[in-house]
Amino acid sequence: MAVKLGYKNVYRDPLGYPEWQKAGLPVATEPMGLCEPAAAAKPPGPLSGWAMAWTLLGIFAGGMALNLTPCVYPLLPITVSYFGGKSGQGRVRLWAHGLFYLAGLALTNSTLGVAAALTGGLMGSLLQNPLVLVAVAAILVFFATSLFGFWELRLPGGLTQAASKSYAGYFGSLFMGLTLGLVAAPCIGPFVLGLLTWVASLGSAWLGFLVFFTLSLGLGLPLFILAMFSGSLEKLPRSGEWMLWVRKLMGWVLVGMAAYFIKPLLPESVSVLLLAAVALAAAVHLWLLDRTPAAFRGFPGAKTAVALAGVILATFLVGDWAWRGPGVTWQPYSEQLLAQAKEARKPVLIDFYATWCSPCRELDEITFHHPEVVRLAEKDFVMVKVDLTRKGNPLHERLLLQYGVKGVPTVVFLDKQGQECQDLRLVDYLPPEQLLPRLSALSKQ
Amino acid sequence: MNIPKKLLLVLAVIALTLGWLWYAHRPVVPQEATMADVRAEAARGGYRLISTGELAKLYRQPPANLLLVDTRQDWEYRSGHIQGAVNFPMEPTWWFRWRAQGRLAALLGPDKDRLAVFY
């Protein structure tokens, strides 16, 4: 890397520090050793870093896909011709109109998102309640049946009419964007409502805003691009029956979300099989049973691709679950256990988790099932798990205070003297390759 | 596409996924990099290697522009490092390299002939 930056005298000592130390050459340690408390702990968030980036990317793609549903798709030509009428005013003003349009769209959706997130503080704690989880899953499935075409979600006629009127000027563009959400509601409504419930479960206004802002960007971008290049309109496939197929696809996405929601309530084997069954059912419904005529050239290919993706997902879920070796054996927390560990001079790992938290599950399913991690843990460590799924256990409340745990997941590392190593503490998912050096540093120390 | 063909396709896809899963789950013994690997990597990266002895010799009469960079994680650095080395934790991903370029350049300074030893 230094070479790429143009430095010429670059060397590497492949044996590095261990050899240097063995040779008795001058070394230094920071006043803060391995296990001193760190200055500031990173605040845990429900979504951060890569998970955040991928989630937003997925939502963006979802927003773009919503353009293909039968309520939005017919709007494309209208919108494009609206912008086409403005094209006499020159490029720059056209861009400005386009941006106002996007802003309007984003405004409606983001308001919804923030509202959901703010009321979500209440919902966040509700979501730990099994009854609520079942209800949310039921709502998702209910909306999915609408997308499958069993019933129709309609807005009052007056509202739809007012919304489809066009207004002049920049305000007009803004207003068209604002109302696109309303006009399109019958189709995108179920998806948006599903997303709203999810945002509410995150309970952060900023995230709520971000999620819905991204969704509107995805929803608006194709329109925006088409409007900028009005000439390309002829190349779009005609609207037709194939859009009903896209609706069904969105319906299956909602059913999948429902299955995911009730995952914490079921034993792991059942929830894995359930998710796999949903993926397979989607593949069968959208591919083998589907009789939608091929409306354009790429359509049969797209159908096959979606179905195969479903099959792959199902195989992957079941296969990955079946293939996994034994995990780390955990013990419940007790003072006695910690005292024993101190006596035996064994480092301790305390995992604070809850079944409804997805990074916790990831930590458990991937990192604490990694064969090397399991081997080290069995050999040198005392592994303790504290289940925070249900609130109100006095012992747990005390531990939360004692270790300053602000959220789940939190993994606390105690060294051989029973002292906490704060700078090793985990508050998010960590892949096994990165956990291993921490473990070996602790056991060697 | 008719049904038998579709089924064949599905079976092929399942087999591929299972094969990949098997590959991903096969037991792997973490391998220590051999000296030959290290040399090949150095040749690819365009830098030279230095042994502990040579480095120690250099260290005893350090030229004015010697810079020792510890590329391990900061907690590893804190628990012990070569005296006088600075810590610059690196991850072996292109994304990290791309992001950290500016910081590394600032650390190494404007002198392109500077003697930099990484470990």
- Average pLDDT on B57-85 reads 79
Q: Cα–Cα distance between B65 and B116 in angstroms, integer? A: 8
Phi and psi dihedrals of A351, rounded to 5? -105, 110
Highest averaged pLDDT of the listed ranges A95-99, A117-121, A224-228, B83-87: B83-87
Q: What is the mean pLDDT of residues A38-64?
A: 64
B-chain CB neighbours of A424 within 8 Å are 75
Q: A11 and B118: CB-CB below 8 Å?
A: yes
- pLDDT in the model for residue A410: 84
Say yes or no to pLDDT of A443 above 60. Answer: yes
Interchain contact, B56 vs A14, CB within 8 Å: no
The average pLDDT across A182-209 equals 63
Taking 70 as the threshold, does the pLDDT of residue A248 lie above it? Answer: yes
- pTM of structure: 0.54
Of B33, B47, B53, the CB nearest to A3: B47
Instruction: Please determine, for the modelled complex, whether the ipTM score is greater than 0.85.
Output: no
Average pLDDT over residues A316-327: 80
Do A288 and B55 lie within an 8 Å CB cutoff?
A: no
Q: Averaged over B55-78, what is the pLDDT?
A: 79
Highest-scoring range by mean pLDDT, A82-86, A139-143, B102-106: B102-106
pLDDT at residue A254 greater than cutoff 60: yes
**What is the average pLDDT across A355-369?**
78
- Which backbone phi and psi does B4 adopt, to 5 degrees? -55, -40
Indicate the residue of B42, B82, B114 with minimum beta-carbon distance to A9: B114
DSSP secondary-structure letter at A10? E
CA distance A288 to chain B (A): 8
Are A34 and B83 inside 8 Å of each other by CB? no
- Band (pLDDT 50/70/90 cuts) for residue A278 is very high
Chain A residue with CA closest to B26: the answer is A323
Q: Are A234 and A78 in contact (CB under 8 A)?
A: no
Res. A395: pLDDT tops 80: yes
Using the Cβ of B18 and the Cβ atoms of chain A, whether some distance falls under 8 Å is answered with yes
Instruction: Summarize the confidence of residues A134-150 as an average pLDDT.
Output: 77
Nearest chain B Cα distance for residue A13, angstroms: 5
Check pLDDT > 80 for residue B25.
no
pLDDT on residue A37 = 42
Using a CB-CB cut-off of 8 Å, the residues of chain A touching B82 are 17, 20, 25-28
Q: Do B79 and A14 touch (CB under 8 A)?
A: no
Q: Is the pLDDT of residue A181 over 70?
A: no
Give A269 to chain B, closest Cα distance, Å: 18
Share of chain A above pLDDT 70, in %: 66
Residues ≥6 apart with Cβ < 8 Å to B67 = B86, B107, B108, B114, B115, B116, B117
Taking alpha carbons only, the member of A90, A83, A367 closest to residue A228 is A83
Q: pLDDT higher for A280 or A184?
A: A280
B window 29-58, beta carbon within 8 A of A = 30, 33, 35, 38, 42, 45-53, 55-56
Whether residue A44 is predicted with pLDDT greater than 50 in this model: the reply is no
Average pLDDT across chain A, whole number: 73
pLDDT level of residue A45 (50, 70, 90 thresholds): very low
Contact A120, A199 (CB under 8 A): yes
- Please check the confidence at residue A230 and state whether its pLDDT lies above 70: no
Nearest by Cα to A106 from A227, A183, A221, A206: A221
* pLDDT (mean) for A263-292: 84
Q: Which helix or strand (DSSP H or E) is residue B13 part of?
A: helix B3-25
Pairwise CB contact (< 8 Å): B118 & A2: yes
3-state helix, strand, coil in chain A (%, to 5): 65, 5, 30
Percentage of chain A lying above the pLDDT 90 cut: 1
**Averaged pLDDT for residues A179-208:** 62
Q: Look at residue A41 in the predicted model and tell me its pLDDT.
A: 37
- How much is the pLDDT for A219? 78
The residue-averaged pLDDT of A410-425 equals 83
Phi, psi of B52 (to 5 degrees): -60, -40
Q: What mean pLDDT do residues A336-356 have? A: 85
Contacts of B104 in chain A (CB under 8 A): 1-2, 5
Give helix A268-283 / helix A299-323 axis angle, nearest 10°: 160
Contact A12/B48, CB-based, under 8 Å?
Answer: yes
CB contact under 8 A, A319 and B17: yes
How far is A119 from A196, CA to CA, in rounded Å?
A: 11
Question: Shortest CB distance from B83 goes to which of A5, A15, A27?
Answer: A27
Question: B 91-110 residues with CB below 8 A of A?
Answer: 97, 100-101, 104-105, 108
Test A9 with B116 for CB contact under 8 angstroms.
Answer: yes
Question: Where on the phi/psi map is residue A270: left (φ > 0), alpha (ψ -120 to 50), or beta?
Answer: alpha
User: In this predicted structure, what is the pLDDT of residue A277?
Assistant: 92
pLDDT band at B85 (very low <50, low <70, confident <90, very high): confident
The answer to whether the Cβ–Cβ distance between B79 and A312 falls below 8 Å is: no
Distance from CA of B17 to the nearest CA of A (A): 6
Taking CA atoms, what residue in A is nearest to B69?
A12
Q: What is the pLDDT of residues A3-30, one digit of tens each?
A: 667 777 788 888 778 788 777 777 777 6
- Residue B116 forms contact with A (CB below 8 Å): yes
Amino acid A2: pLDDT: 62
Confidence band of B27 (pLDDT split at 50, 70, 90): low
Region A268-293: what's the mean pLDDT? 85
- For tokens 């984003």, the residue is A106
pLDDT at residue A346 is higher than 80? yes
